[in-house]
Amino acid sequence: MKIYNTLTRRVETFVPHENGIVRMYTCGPTVYHYAHIGNLRTYIFEDILEKGLKYLGYEVKRVMNITDVGHLTSDSDTGEDKMIKGAKREGKSVYEIADFYTNAFFNDCSKLNIKKPNIVEPASHHIDTYIEMITKMLQDGYAYLSNNNVYFDVSKAKDYYQLSGKNPEDLMVGVRDTVEEDKAKRNPADFVLWFTDSKFKNQDMRWDSPWGLGYPGWHIECSGISGKYLGEYLDIHCGGIDNIFPHHTNEIAQSEAYFGHKWCNYWVHGEHLNDQTGKMSKSNGEFLTVSLLEEKGYDPLSYRYFCLSSHYRKVLVFSYEALDQAESAYKKLKARISKLDRTPNLHEDKIDYYQTQFKEAISNDLNTASMLTLVYDVLKDDELTDFTKLYLIDHFDQVLSLNLIEEEKEIDNELKEYVLLKIEERNQAKKDKNYDLADSIRDELLGKGVRLVDSKEGTTYEIM
Ligand code: AMP
Ligand code: ZN
């Protein structure tokens, strides 16, 4: 497989440490709010990467953390704690917030057919691991205690700027973040490993440590959890591009200081989903969540299809027009597949050919658009029997996860008549420009498990 490696800024041939086994770590969500669909674009790309590697024959051991402690709103150590912000907003405890939004996150993932990684660990469950790592880094001179906080000394790290390609000057505090310089640090880029004396003295999540009652910095959780479950040699580490600096840069510094050797060979980052104003946000503009898309009548998998149509390393701009187009293409594709004859009649001649092409699309830096094109190529190929087409599409869908082949669902006659009547009533309402009535009919049918699909040819329905 060939994949773009942020560390070397090149597309490289992937070679894991252990033959046939991939140790993969992906940064999990900060569970202070719902994930927006931008965050979920990153998890879709990571899901495809994991499933693509499996399709190529690798065994993938994948670990993800849940950030429920220590993530600040700013990259500097003086930002606000996101979890405390969430708890204040909702008048709940930090633990309640973490629980609620962790469930909400996996709920969204399941609607988008994003598989849960083998191991998912909340950061707050591994405090002993971080304390052990920090103690060793202090002993070895990579970390220092100042003003009751423990900092990592970036001047001790080997090639601290390699991943980000930044210069130390870019990182001057004050210039970058317009925040006050932390006088306790030796170098402006030093970061906190353990907070004892922070401005969040009264927060719920605090633990005893050799340095006093406190809590870990954000970055140490990923080094700790990854090392604990995947060992000291990692093959692939993923995240969105905003994670390159400071988070992943600091993970490398800590892990390599702790293990005493190079830690992870491939760093794979997904580009962002932007809205039309630029960066997607949970606080400004429309807060785009999977539930919001559903309320508007979209199938979450249309959003997955939308993401797969573009390459993970390209910025993707969200608009409802673009999503409409994706949904229409996706529904048409599924409609075509549903018409294929399911009578068993497998012709093996071209199966190898198409599967090899599919593997090449995966191997070509995860070219999801080519993977989708192959589904259309299979459908168009007159030399294939319908059953062979279904066989191939079913295989490809192990990676694409678009539910391309649905179980055939029956609708009883009474409901069918009712739905057809309602479609007529809705068409009339639209003609009368009574959009409230049209929307309420669509919502009522959704409640009965029937989704209306509008296209140029008129309105049809599907059973969910
Ligand atoms: P967070 O919950 O803020 O820790 O972010 C979760 C994941 O979403 C991280 O891997 C981020 O890199 C990623 N992310 C944040 N914003 C976006 C965006 N607009 N598009 C794609 N991924 C994003
Ligand atoms: Zn992380």
DSSP code per residue over 178-222: -----TT-SSTT-EEEEESSSS-TT-S--B--TT-SBEE-HHHHH
- 240 Cα distance to chain centroid: 8
Identify the CA nearest to 401 among candidates 106, 49, 117, 61: 49
Q: Give the pLDDT band (50/70/90) at residue 172.
A: low
C-alpha 451/C-alpha 444 separation (Å) is 10
C-alpha 421/C-alpha 18 separation (Å) is 61
240 CB near ligand 1 (under 6 Å) = yes
41 CB near ligand 1 (under 6 Å) = yes
On the question of pLDDT at 75 being above 60, the answer is no
**Beta strands in 31-72, from DSSP E residues, in sequence order:** 59-66
pLDDT of 293 reads: 97
C-alpha 114/C-alpha 401 separation (Å) is 8
With contact defined as beta carbons under 8 Å apart, do 341 and 386 qualify? Answer: yes
pLDDT of 176 reads: 41
pLDDT of 174 reads: 39
H or E stretch at 460: strand 458-463
C-alpha 266/C-alpha 262 separation (Å) is 11
Least confident of 102-111, 112-121, 403-412: 403-412
On the question of pLDDT at 198 being above 70, the answer is no
Cα of 42 vs centre of ligand 1, distance in Å, is 6
pLDDT of 76 reads: 54
Domains within the chain, CATH numbers bracketed:
2-270 (3.40.50.620), 299-400 (1.20.120.640), 413-463 (no CATH)
With contact defined as beta carbons under 8 Å apart, do 31 and 39 qualify? Answer: no
Give me 61's structure tokens.
């051991």
243 CB near ligand 1 (under 6 Å) = yes
438 CB near ligand 1 (under 6 Å) = no
Least confident of 12-16, 157-161, 304-308, 405-409: 405-409
Identify the CA nearest to 256 among candidates 128, 146, 119, 152: 152
What are the tens digits of pLDDT across the range 338-357? 999 999 899 998 999 999 99
Residue 186 sits at φ, ψ, to 5 deg, of: -80, -40
* CA of 251, nearest ligand number: 2
Q: Give the pLDDT band (50/70/90) at residue 365.
A: very high
Q: Give the pLDDT band (50/70/90) at residue 208.
A: very high
C-alpha 245/C-alpha 388 separation (Å) is 47
pLDDT of 455 reads: 79
How many Cβ atoms are within 10 Å of 229's Cβ, its own excluded? 18
Neighbours of ion ligand 2 (CB under 5 A): 27, 222
Q: Give the pLDDT band (50/70/90) at residue 201.
A: low
On the question of pLDDT at 260 being above 50, the answer is yes
pLDDT of 77 reads: 54
Cα of 374 vs centre of ligand 2, distance in Å, is 34
pLDDT of 373 reads: 98
Nearest protein CA to atom 16 of ligand 1, as residue: 39
Average pLDDT over residues 153-164: 93
Average pLDDT over residues 389-407: 96
Q: Which residue has the higher pLDDT, 99 or 94?
A: 99
Residue 21 sits at φ, ψ, to 5 deg, of: -120, 135
H or E stretch at 357: helix 351-363
Nearest protein CA to atom 22 of ligand 1, as residue: 39
pTM attached to this predicted model: 0.86
Return mean pLDDT, the chain.
91
With contact defined as beta carbons under 8 Å apart, do 81 and 70 qualify? Answer: yes
Residue 244 sits at φ, ψ, to 5 deg, of: -60, -50
268 CB near ligand 1 (under 6 Å) = no
C-alpha 224/C-alpha 311 separation (Å) is 31
Cα of 174 vs centre of ligand 1, distance in Å, is 24
Average pLDDT over residues 204-224: 91
Cα of 26 vs centre of ligand 2, distance in Å, is 7
C-alpha 358/C-alpha 370 separation (Å) is 8
Q: Give the pLDDT band (50/70/90) at residue 253.
A: very high
With contact defined as beta carbons under 8 Å apart, do 271 and 241 qualify? Answer: yes
Least confident of 79-93, 145-159, 350-364, 382-396: 79-93
Identify the CA nearest to 331 among candidates 342, 320, 339, 343: 339
On the question of pLDDT at 209 being above 60, the answer is yes
Percent of the chain with pLDDT over 70: 93
Average pLDDT over residues 315-329: 97
Cα of 40 vs centre of ligand 2, distance in Å, is 15
Terminus-to-terminus CA distance in the chain, angstroms? 37
Q: How far is CA 99 from CA 206, 233, 446, in A?
A: 17, 31, 29
What are the tens digits of pLDDT across the range 407-454? 766 678 888 889 999 999 999 999 999 999 999 999 999 888 888 888
| Helix-helix angle 249-259:218-230, to 10 degrees | 50
User: What SS3 state is found at 331?
Assistant: helix
Total length of the chain: 464
Q: Which residues contact 378 (CB under 8 A, 6 or more apart)?
A: 354, 384, 389, 392, 393, 396
